[in-house]
Amino acid sequence: MADIFEMTKAELQEFLVANGMKKFRADQIFHYIYKQGITSWDDMVLLPKADRMKLNDVLPIYFPEIEAQQEASDGQTVKLLLRLHDGQTVETVLMMHDYGNSICVSTQVGCAVNCAFCASAKNGFVRNLTAGEMVAQLLAFRKNVTAELHSIVIMGTGEPLLNYQNVIRFMRLIHQEDTFYLGYRNMTLSTAGIVPAMYDLANEKMPITLAISLHAPNDELRRRIMPIAEQYVLRDVLKAGENYFNTTGRKVTFEYILIKDVNCTIACARQLVQLFAGKNILINAIPINDNYDVGLYRPSSAEIDMFINFLKKHGIPVTLRREMGTKIQAACGQLRIKRDK
């Protein structure tokens, strides 16, 4: 099934000509979609009526419906639960920062990686999203919330590198001048550490930021938190991350969920120092969102400060992620599960 949202302008031009329409109509269509947020053929009134009727038949637009919308009380976080053409639902989140708006994009319906702290996989993996369904997440915010977009983080539901081709196509699409014209340096992709795909990503020559979900400083603990660590051991994940830096020149970020009595200890911090001393990396520490009952809990502020300060004292670059959206269940999978129940 052809999807307008995963077509480049050149591909749309070919499609139009093949269906007896004028090539230049692609310019008008892209302007309607990406500049005006119009996602219905009937509303694209500059197109001849005959063209609109034909396009409804040969290239129907399946724009997701908003199943639910939540907004934080401070107005800085908005979460949409979108219903797709096949009835499946997927979440996406807009976060408003001082530097601009960032959208967290999902890449799958459900997730097969099943990290202990995440709600995304609790109802299992269903299917990959298409590139067009990822583009539609951005368009949903442009149409219903705001047209301003500074950056994206591919950190929503799903493991992006297990949907590799669609995710790469999505990033290339939104980089184009006639769509969102988003710079690659304004894109971040988060992975649980799919080692072969990390090498492939480095060779794509797209200078995006790579964020690797670390969450533990050793294989034994990492396997408890992330089952995928049974397949990809820490040594190989770190080696693939180093290759990404050497190939692209882009500093790799390591995400580290802080979990009380599990990995937010001085013993773990000491092991992180041993792993990363002298490396050109960044650790992004993230207190666990314990709004969803996964049996894991947030450390106290004192425990978090002790952990962070130990790393800083020993020269490890670390930031504590600003928490956004905890009151609206903005963590991956939470709204979808609540709605399904």
User: Cα–Cα distance between 57 and 268 in angstroms, integer?
Assistant: 59
Which of 6, 91, 133, 255 is catalytic? The answer is 91
Contact predicate 162/191, CB 8 Å? no
pLDDT exceeds 50 at position 109: yes
Q: Is 158 left (phi over 0), alpha (psi -120 to 50) or beta?
A: left
User: Across residues 276-294, what is the average pLDDT?
Assistant: 86
How many C-beta neighbours within 10 Å does residue 181 have? 11
User: Cα–Cα distance between 189 and 177 in angstroms, integer?
Assistant: 21
What is the number of alpha carbons within 13 Å of residue 324 lying toward its C-beta?
Answer: 20
Count of structural domains within the chain? 2
Contact predicate 210/250, CB 8 Å? yes
Same domain for 328 and 227: yes
Same domain for 140 and 30: no
Same domain for 296 and 161: yes
Same domain for 316 and 186: yes
Final residue belonging to a domain, choices 37, 58, 79: 58
User: Cα–Cα distance between 209 and 189 in angstroms, integer?
Assistant: 6
User: Across residues 269-298, what is the average pLDDT?
Assistant: 89
Q: Which pair of structure tokens corresponds to residue 261? A: 């009595």
How many C-beta neighbours within 10 Å does residue 14 have? 14
Same domain for 106 and 12: no
| 14-63 tens-digit pLDDT | 999 999 999 999 999 999 999 999 999 999 999 999 999 999 999 999 99
Final residue belonging to a domain, choices 34, 58, 82: 58
Q: What is the pLDDT of residue 264?
A: 96
> For this structure, is 91 an active site residue?
yes
Final residue belonging to a domain, choices 42, 58, 74: 58
* Bridge partners of residue 101, in order along the sequence: 96
117 band by pLDDT with thresholds 50, 70 and 90: confident
| 126-147 tens-digit pLDDT | 999 999 999 999 999 999 998 8
CB burial readout 83-107, b (16+ within 10 A) else e: ebeeebbbbbbbbbeeeebbbbbbb
Q: Where do we find the tokens 């106290």?
A: 300
Q: Which helix (H) or strand (E) segment is 275 a member of?
A: helix 266-276
| 182-191 tens-digit pLDDT | 999 999 999 9
User: Cα–Cα distance between 329 and 255 in angstroms, integer?
Assistant: 20
Query: How many residues are given for the chain?
Result: 341
List the domain range (segments joined by +) for residue 173: 65-340
Can you give the pTM of this predicted structure? 0.92
SS3 per residue for 158-202: CCHHHCHHHHHHHHHHHHCCCCCCCCHHHEEEEECCCHHHHHHHH
Contact predicate 225/213, CB 8 Å? no
Q: What percent of the chain has pLDDT over 70?
A: 93
Same domain for 132 and 253: yes
Backbone angles phi, psi at 305, to 5 degrees: -60, -40
Which of 104, 118, 264, 332 is catalytic? The answer is 332
324 band by pLDDT with thresholds 50, 70 and 90: low
Strands 89-97 and 100-104: antiparallel
Average pLDDT, the chain: 92
pLDDT exceeds 80 at position 194: yes
Nearest to 108 by CA among 332, 291, 327: 332
337 band by pLDDT with thresholds 50, 70 and 90: very low
Q: Which pair of structure tokens corresponds to residue 19? A: 């269906």
For residue 174, the domain's CATH number is 3.20.20.70
| 248-283 tens-digit pLDDT | 999 999 999 999 999 999 999 999 999 999 999 999
For residue 11, the domain's CATH number is 1.10.150.530
Contact predicate 297/288, CB 8 Å? yes
Q: Which pair of structure tokens corresponds to residue 32? A: 């309607």
Q: Is 332 left (phi over 0), alpha (psi -120 to 50) or beta?
A: beta
Distance between start and end Cα atoms, the chain: 31
Same domain for 85 and 14: no
